[in-house]
Every structure is written in structure tokens, then in C-alpha cells.
Amino acid sequence: MATERSTPRPPGLSTQAVHGGEPRTKDANAIATPIIQSATYTFADTQEIADHFEGRIEREEYGRYGNPTQRVAERKLAVLEGAEDGLLFASGMAAITTTLFAMLSKGAHVVVTDDAYRRTRQFLHQILRRYGVEVSTVPAGDYERMEEAVRQTTRLIFSESPTNPYNRILDLERVAAIGRRHRVKTVIDSTFATPINQRPIEFGIDLVIHSGTKYLGGHNDLLAGVVLGTADLVGAIRDLQGVTGAVPDPFAAYLLIRGIKTLALRVTRQNDNAQRVAEFLAGHPKVERVHYPGLPSHPEHAIAVRQMRGFGGVVSFEVRGDLAAASRLVDACQLPRIAPSLGGVESLIEQPALMSFYELSTEERLQVGIKDTLVRYSVGVEDADDLVADLAQALENV
């Protein structure tokens, strides 16, 4: 009697982070992906040129069109995200702006949520408007308003989940369904989540963007961005990147590959640490409100539980008092460093009112939803007990 063969179990995310996208045997039998530090690539003869341009062989030609080290990073990220293809950029904003330029033209319309990253909204409202692109901003989580905002000329719905800085969680299935009903592409910046905590493509989202500078790199030592999705969509963006030249250098791609190998370990620890920090802050009398999707008090906690494996490493919270009170807290912290960015092994802390919105008045900041008392804490991989103890002593200054 013949025995049935069992279906192989797909590898877990940590295994994919270590091995995914990389050939088992590498150049010079190296265990690490080599850095191919070259701006241009030679051809054996003119026939090889013809074979390359007519698609009979795949190979590199010139650094602006790709690099072997870059290709490994792209394949690894595509495997992790469950995407057909990926394209690496010199920064997260390069990934966002090139994607928007590639998918939009004069007369097109975009729907964006109000809690998206400041520079993304700035690019949409200030730069793309000059080129005849129309933009509608809707509240994050208001799906009726989102669908009402869609027009005949709408080409994209763009958001983040979790959002920056308030950790709003979008119901990705609902966003994707709106896009399908109106034949509109959906794009999610999933930087805060990483593929370890959430894979938007599984919920029907068309394109996923990450700032690789953050969790993917994980050590605050590189700039990178990536867009992931179907081969057709990513291919169209790749064509524009070949013109604009917003490409990563080989060493940054190497550092990114190295960082991704420990991504699952780091994010799991940061999830746990952030949950501890959020729970401590939620029970402290000098804290007005905590914005963390792992807390039952978060307005989209149920959505987060349904579509995320972990709740992320960023905890935003509001202290009681004013701008000066929040500053006293930040200055009194001994473990986190005061700095922009997030996602590294080191904890970082900042006041968005001072770091990203310094040039605006209090009234102008409130119009875009940034309170003077808001603090954003990017939780690292330190011991959770130490992070909590440090916050406890710092809150004595509020």
C-alpha cells in the first residue's frame, strides 16, 4: 500500500529571515552574502549584450539598475513579506516618492489618512499638487469617509498601519476591499509592524513599503527603503528608479541583509518590552493616555489582535501637564537617547512637537494632531525591568 506524502511545512519567519532569498552556495563559498562593490559590469562580448537586452539572460549592467548584493536583500524581503518581488531604495522616503511618481500622473487623485508620516503627507500635498495630482485626506479608521473620498480619477489609497505617531491600526481587509470595489491600488507603509508582526499582502493590499532604516536594519547604521508587491507593479516602479537613481549602495544592502537575519529575534523582544512599558505607563498617575495597540484601551485593539502577531516596539503617550513637563520627562530618562527615528536595538525617545514639528506653533501642531505633551518612545532590546525603572524615576520630574 502506497503511503501518502505529507505536504512540507513552510519555514517560519525566523528561518526565512536567516536563510530566505539567499543561495545556499555563495561566491568564494562565503557564509555571508558578499559585497559586490562595483558601479559597472563587464560583458564578455557583444552577443552577451544582445542576450541581456533581449531577455535571454539575467545579469547586472550598471549600478543604477541594480547590484548583486541589493538583489539578495530584495529577494529576502520579498520572501518575508510574502510578495512576488521587491525593490530596494536609498531611503524609505525614496521608496515612497518613487512609488507615487510611478503610479500617478496629472489629473490623478490619491486618498491618504491623516495620521500618515508627516513627510509623506508633505510630499503629497505640497509637491505632487504642483504636478496636478489631487489629494484627499481622511481620518484613519473612518472607512465610510475613505470610500466616499474615492473618485473616478482615484488611483491610490495610501496609509500606514500602525500609524506614526499614534499607533492607529487600519483594518487592512476593509481597505483592500474598498480598493478592489473601485479598482484602486492600495499601499500600506508597514514600517512600524515589520513582516514579523504583520504582512499586509495576506489581507489583499497591493503594495507594502518599509523604511529599512528602522527595524529591518535594526542598528541605526544605514538608510534604506523597500517596496514589495506583484512583479508587474514593482517592475513599473523599478523602471522609474532606473531613471531617478534613488538606489542603495552595496554596503548598505549588505548591512540590511545582516540586520534582517536577527529581525525576528529583535522584534519579538521589542514587542515584549513595549508591552511592559505600555502597561506601566497606562497605570501611572502622571500619564494622561497611552497609544499602544497591545492595550485593551486602544480603539483598534481588536483589529490588532486579529491581524498582527505582535504589537510593535513604539509606545506613544501623553503626560499630564504641558510641553515643559514632557521635556522634563525626556531629559530625565537615562536609558533611551534623545533622537529621531526608531526600530534600533537602542531605545530612543523624543517629543514630536520639538523634533519633527518644531517650526510650528502650538495651534498649528494641534491642527495636524500633534499635542505638546506627546512623547514617542521607540523601545529597544534592553531589559524591560530597567526600562520601566528608568521611566519611573523620570516621571518623578513631571
Q: Is residue 90 part of a domain?
A: yes
Segment 107-149, tens digit of pLDDT: 999 999 998 888 999 999 999 999 999 999 999 999 999 999 9
Q: In the predicted model, what is the mean pLDDT of the chain?
A: 94
Measured over the CA atoms of residue 127, residue 128, residue 129 and residue 130, the dihedral's sign is positive
Looking at residue 115, what is its pLDDT? 87
Q: What is the total count of domains within the chain? A: 2
Of 237, 260, 283, the residue at which a domain comes to its end is 260
Antiparallel, parallel or unpaired: β 225-229 and 337-338: unpaired
Q: Are residues 152 and 39 in the same domain?
A: yes
* Over residues 315-335, mean pLDDT: 97
Cα 314 from Cα 293, distance rounded (Å): 10
Looking at residue 10, what is its pLDDT? 84
Domain containing residue 32: 13-260
Catalytic site positions: 64, 117, 189, 214
Q: Are residues 151 and 23 in the same domain?
A: yes
Q: What is the pTM of this model?
A: 0.94
Q: Are residues 255 and 269 in the same domain?
A: no
Of 239, 260, 281, the residue at which a domain comes to its end is 260
Decide if pLDDT at 236 tops 90: yes
Q: Are residues 234 and 331 in the same domain?
A: no
Segment 1-17, tens digit of pLDDT: 455 566 778 899 999 99
- Spatial neighbors of 306 by CB under 8 A, at least 6 apart, are none
Q: What is the largest CA-CA distance in the chain?
A: 79
* Over residues 250-274, mean pLDDT: 98
More confident residue, 45 or 9: 45
Q: Are residues 242 and 300 in the same domain?
A: no
Q: Are residues 212 and 325 in the same domain?
A: no
Q: Are residues 372 and 232 in the same domain?
A: no
Looking at residue 8, what is its pLDDT? 78
Q: Are residues 313 and 211 in the same domain?
A: no
Q: Are residues 196 and 272 in the same domain?
A: no
Cα 293 from Cα 272, distance rounded (Å): 13
Instruction: Residue 163: name the closest of 114, 215, 126, 121 by CA.
Output: 114
Q: Are residues 154 and 200 in the same domain?
A: yes
Instruction: Residue 117: name the closest of 380, 376, 379 by CA.
Output: 376
We report the CATH number of the domain holding residue 157 as: 3.40.640.10
